[in-house]
Amino acid sequence: MNRELYGKLVFELSRPGRRGYRLPDNHIGEVHTEGGQQPPVIADALLRQQPLRLPQCDELTVVRHYNNMSTNNFGVDTGFYPLGSCTMKYNPKINEEMASHEAFVNVHPAAPDNAVQGNLELYYTLQRSLSEIGGMAEFTLNPFAGAHGELTGLMVIRAYHDARGDKARRKIIVPDSAHGTNPASAAVAGLEVVEVKSRPDGTVDVDDLRPLLDETVAGMMMTNPNTLGIFEKDIPEIARLVHEAGGLMYYDGANLNPMLGIARPGDMGFDVMHINLHKTFSTPHGGGGPGSGPVGVRAGLEKFLPNPRVVKIENADGTMGYRLEMGADALGSISATLGNFAVQARALSYIMSLGSEGLMDVGPLATLNANYVKECLKDDYLLPVEGVCKHEFVFDGLRDKSEHITTLNVAKRLLDHGYHAPTIYFPLLFHESLMIEPTETESKETLDEFIAVMHDIAREARETPDVVRNAPHNTPITHPDDTAAALNPVVTFDALEQTEE
């Protein structure tokens, strides 16, 4: 990463008269067909009134601009990215090539089924693969992201109860350790959130759960392992209790990675789940998307999945084919198309590359890496929950708090050393949460170097605390003023020019 700030905006590189394009000649010109009927005239009032202002740049100016900009960015290909709960694993290059196959890239989503059998087969193949991995009957790949998957899954739960005429079920139970998106998705889906307390180890308190279970409960959302990286070992009991009360179990797939090769959500008693393809199945995060959040359901709930659905059919000649269907019992539609197809293609490429045996190793190696880092660092960092973790774990800041060095300070000091920071101040259960997820694609050498740096930072915190307190020191920018940004939001270049005047 380039530690000098590049910082220019494309608007500042614009010069009148420059251009970065040329359109193909369509050979139409102004010719009209003989005696043909011309299209209706577009009245001036329907046309743009104010001139459009966009940059005027030649191609090289644009290329250098974005290239230079990219050098101020840190990605998985740049260095170790132990961002907890985000599963920043290596994104294999072959996946990019497969997703950009010409035969997929240029296909219009409204092309008739008989013209896109290959695409539908790809969708169906991934759908079946995820069903096998999740222990579910069927998946929809339509949801665009994890949060979108949550929303879709909760709609499935509501559609299920509504179809039974059980319309009073509007409560959804969410652990207090859950990702913030869980309650937000529930609110958007028209459900009322009821929090269940965690025990000190972050797992669901079954005694606190029992009294919440009544005939108004639609279901319960869980992340397993939970956001502390701890496996919810009472899950069979929890699922039994929720089912007995008439509710459905929702599995938030944010933390599915350590369970690959170990156990399947369907076998744990979950009825509905989503998977983040951009986490567990290695599709690149793209600076925050595009992702993909397929939703799976157990047998009996398939008909509630959103439209359109890809179904396998037998053609008239006995061969198998695929068709789009709009089911009458579906919860509705949550997308105009079949979702982020190019992301789905990447995930399938990854699943094929790993194969059955490779997938079995993902969870154990991710868990090994996390436990190794935890064990190596727990002398300097406060580990609130002892014992084995899964793919990630949470420290509650430094052990030695005498110099009042915060988690934020530690995170920022890591940037100086060429690491992305862990997730900080989440989960909310601890004041100084520092959540580390190494993933399975990192080597022992990388982890050892990281561990050494974390020890150095702990030592600095005792010996030269100001170095840590004032970090970062050598990043492209230092200590941006967030407060000013929020107090007086400047969100366009035009607004910026006005403030600079």
Partner 1 sequence: MHRYFPHTPQDIASMLDKCGVSDLRGLYSDVPEELMLTAPYALPQEMSEKEVRDRFGAFAAKNRKIDVCFAGGGFYDHYVPAAAVSLIGRSEFLTAYTPYQPEISQGTLQYIFEYQTMMCRLTGMDISNASMYDGATATAEAMMMAVAAAKKRRRILVSATLGDAVRRVVDTYARYHGITVDTIEAEDGVMSVAALERMLEAYADVAGVIVAQPNRYGIIEDFTGVADMVHARKALLIMNCIAADLAALRTPGEWGADIACGDAQSLGIPLSFGGPYLGYLCARKALMRKMPGRIVGATTDDRGRRCFVLTLQAREQHIRRDKATSNICSNQGLMTLYVAIYMSLLGADGLKEIAYRGHQCAAYLFESLMAAGGCRLKYPGQPFLNEFLMEFDCDVDLLMERSIEAGILPGIRMDGNCLLMAATEMQTREDVDCLVEIYKSVCEN
149-208: contacts with partner 1 (CB under 8 A): 150-151, 154-155, 158, 179-181, 183-190, 193
Taking CB under 8 A as the criterion, the residue among 310, 331, 398, 410 binding partner 1 is 331
206-225: contacts with partner 1 (CB under 8 A): none
45: phi then psi, degrees, rounded to nearest 5:
-65, -20
> Smallest distance, Å, CB 382 to partner 1?
19
- The reply to whether 494 sits near partner 1 by the rule CB under 8 A is yes
The structure tokens listed for 295 are 């939703």
Q: How many CB atoms lie within 10 A of CB 248?
A: 27
| Cα separation, 441 vs 88, whole angstroms | 9
> Smallest distance, Å, CB 449 to partner 1?
13
Q: What SS3 class is residue 98?
A: helix
- The reply to whether 493 sits near partner 1 by the rule CB under 8 A is yes
From 140-148, 209-217, 244-252, 397-405, give the range in contact with partner 1 by CB under 8 A.
140-148
The structure tokens listed for 430 are 């601890």
What DSSP state is assigned to residue 379?
T
| Cα separation, 120 vs 122, whole angstroms | 5
> Smallest distance, Å, CB 180 to partner 1?
4
- The 398-437 contact track toward partner 1, x by CB under 8 A, reads -------------xx--x----xx----------------
Closest CA to 36 of 24, 44, 28: 28
The structure tokens listed for 293 are 């959040």
From 73-81, 209-217, 294-302, 398-406, give the range in contact with partner 1 by CB under 8 A.
73-81
From 98-106, 295-303, 397-405, 461-469, give the range in contact with partner 1 by CB under 8 A.
98-106
The Cα-based distances of 51 to 47, 280, 495 in angstroms read 11, 46, 18
Taking CB under 8 A as the criterion, the residue among 166, 168, 337, 401 binding partner 1 is 337
Q: Which is nearer to partner 1, 207 or 357 (CB)?
A: 357
User: Which amino acid would we find at residue 114?
Assistant: N
| Cα separation, 146 vs 148, whole angstroms | 5
- The reply to whether 341 sits near partner 1 by the rule CB under 8 A is yes
The structure tokens listed for 332 are 């509705």
What DSSP state is assigned to residue 318?
S
| Cα separation, 198 vs 174, whole angstroms | 10
363-402: contacts with partner 1 (CB under 8 A): 364-365, 367-369, 371-372, 375-376, 387-388, 390
Residue with tokens 């998977």: 275
Q: Which is nearer to partner 1, 138 or 440 (CB)?
A: 440
- The 263-282 contact track toward partner 1, x by CB under 8 A, reads xx--xx--------------
Taking CB under 8 A as the criterion, the residue among 315, 356, 464, 498 binding partner 1 is 356
- The 30-69 contact track toward partner 1, x by CB under 8 A, reads -xxxxxxxxxxxxx-xxxxxxxxxxxxx-x--xx-xxx-x
Q: Which is nearer to partner 1, 207 or 445 (CB)?
A: 445
- The reply to whether 228 sits near partner 1 by the rule CB under 8 A is no
Residues across the chain: 501
- The reply to whether 285 sits near partner 1 by the rule CB under 8 A is yes
Q: What SS3 class is residue 62?
A: helix
- The reply to whether 229 sits near partner 1 by the rule CB under 8 A is no
The structure tokens listed for 149 are 């998957």
> Smallest distance, Å, CB 236 to partner 1?
6
Taking CB under 8 A as the criterion, the residue among 108, 167, 317, 386 binding partner 1 is 108
Taking CB under 8 A as the criterion, the residue among 202, 229, 261, 397 binding partner 1 is 261
- The 309-328 contact track toward partner 1, x by CB under 8 A, reads --------------------
> Smallest distance, Å, CB 255 to partner 1?
13
115-134: contacts with partner 1 (CB under 8 A): 115-119, 121-122, 129, 132-133
| Cα separation, 370 vs 389, whole angstroms | 7
- For 435, counting Cβ atoms within 10 Å of its Cβ (0-12 exposed, 13-18 middle, 19+ buried), the class is buried
The structure tokens listed for 224 are 């397993």
Q: Which is nearer to partner 1, 26 or 402 (CB)?
A: 26
Q: Strand order in 171-175's β-sheet?
A: 138-140, 295-297, 272-275, 248-253, 217-223, 171-175, 192-196
404 sits in the region (left: phi over 0; alpha: psi -120 to 50; else beta) called left
151: phi then psi, degrees, rounded to nearest 5:
-60, -45
- The reply to whether 20 sits near partner 1 by the rule CB under 8 A is yes
Taking CB under 8 A as the criterion, the residue among 301, 466, 475, 501 binding partner 1 is 475
How remote is the C-alpha of 378 from its chain's centroid? 29
Taking CB under 8 A as the criterion, the residue among 165, 200, 318, 355 binding partner 1 is 355
> Smallest distance, Å, CB 402 to partner 1?
26
| Cα separation, 24 vs 323, whole angstroms | 36
> Smallest distance, Å, CB 465 to partner 1?
18
